[in-house]
């Protein structure tokens, strides 16, 4: 996920011998999966809420190259993105968090102080989306869609960001 390889290039790099027929079957399966990608409804709603408040919105994700275009197509109008295959680093590596900050034109480490741009991140991995960003000087939050955590959906996260900006 830190290289922009095709399936054939990945197999070759990893020393995996695969027939052209089998490679085509895998490629077809991958294309079907990519075509099925849809954003979460609460994600689209959260983006709309944040954008209405003038908040820049981006995505930072550990992704293989074939998924990048589909993700950006499903989330049009993002202000920035950092995908592991483009950056060459995966969450929780600080380099990918620096990349999303750069893509959005903000600096980490200000934690909603007056006069500074701030960055907050949310995701479903405590290690990658809460702890990693915090270690890089960002606000990081864990999204627990099962409902047992402090943040249960992306609209709730958006509302927290909006409230913190108004204080």
User: Does residue 14 lie within any of the structural domains?
Assistant: no
* Predicted structure pTM score: 0.90
Residue 34 in this model has a pLDDT that exceeds 80: yes
Strands (DSSP E) along the chain, which ranges?
Answer: 58-61, 80-83, 120-123, 139-142
Q: Please tell me the total count of domains within the chain.
A: 1
Q: How far is CA 32 from CA 61, 65, 70, 73, 86, in A?
A: 21, 15, 12, 16, 23
What pLDDT, on the 0 to 100 scale, is given for residue 55?
Answer: 93
pLDDT classification of 110: cutoffs 50, 70, 90: low
Domain that holds residue 107: 41-166
Average pLDDT, the chain: 92
User: Does residue 1 lie within any of the structural domains?
Assistant: no
Which single residue is written with the structure tokens 């750069």? Answer: 102
User: Does residue 133 lie within any of the structural domains?
Assistant: yes
pLDDT classification of 165: cutoffs 50, 70, 90: confident
Distance of CA 163 to the CA centre of its chain: 22
What pLDDT, on the 0 to 100 scale, is given for residue 96?
Answer: 97
User: Does residue 27 lie within any of the structural domains?
Assistant: no
User: Does residue 141 lie within any of the structural domains?
Assistant: yes
Question: Nearest Cα to 47, choosing from 58, 62, 60, 63?
Answer: 58
Residue 117 in this model has a pLDDT that exceeds 80: no
Q: What are phi and psi of 8, to 5 degrees?
A: -65, -40
- Measured between alpha carbons, how far is 85 from 77 in angstroms, rounded to an integer? 21
User: Does residue 156 lie within any of the structural domains?
Assistant: yes
pLDDT classification of 114: cutoffs 50, 70, 90: low
Residue 119 in this model has a pLDDT that exceeds 70: yes
User: Does residue 56 lie within any of the structural domains?
Assistant: yes
Domain CATH for 90: 3.40.50.1000
Q: What is the pLDDT of residues 51-96, one digit of tens each?
A: 999 999 999 999 999 999 999 999 988 999 999 999 999 999 999 9
Question: Nearest Cα to 99, choosing from 127, 62, 49, 154?
Answer: 62
User: Does residue 130 lie within any of the structural domains?
Assistant: yes
10-14, 73-77, 81-85, 104-108: least confidently modelled range: 104-108
Contacts within 8 Å (CB) and 24+ apart, 135-144: 135/92, 135/94, 136/94, 136/97, 136/98, 136/108, 137/108, 137/109, 138/97, 138/101, 138/108, 138/109, 139/111, 139/112
């Amino acid at each position: 996920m830190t290289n922009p390889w095709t399936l054939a290039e990945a197999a070759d790099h990893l020393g995996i011998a695969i027939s052209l027929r089998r490679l085509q079957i895998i490629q077809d399966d991958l294309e079907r999966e990519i075509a099925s990608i849809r954003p979460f409804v609460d994600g689209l709603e959260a983006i709309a809420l944040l954008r209405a408040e003038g908040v820049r919105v981006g995505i930072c994700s550990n992704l293989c190259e074939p998924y990048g275009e589909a993700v950006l197509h499903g989330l049009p109008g993002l202000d920035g993105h950092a995908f592991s295959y483009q950056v060459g680093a995966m969450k929780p590596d600080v380099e990918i968090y620096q990349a999303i900050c750069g893509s959005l034109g903000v600096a980490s480490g200000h934690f909603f102080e007056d006069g500074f741009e701030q960055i907050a991140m949310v995701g479903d991995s405590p290690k990658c989306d809460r702890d990693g960003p915090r270690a890089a000087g960002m606000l990081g939050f864990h999204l627990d869609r099962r409902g047992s955590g402090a943040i249960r959906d992306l609209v709730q996260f958006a509302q927290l960001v909006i409230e913190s900006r108004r204080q």
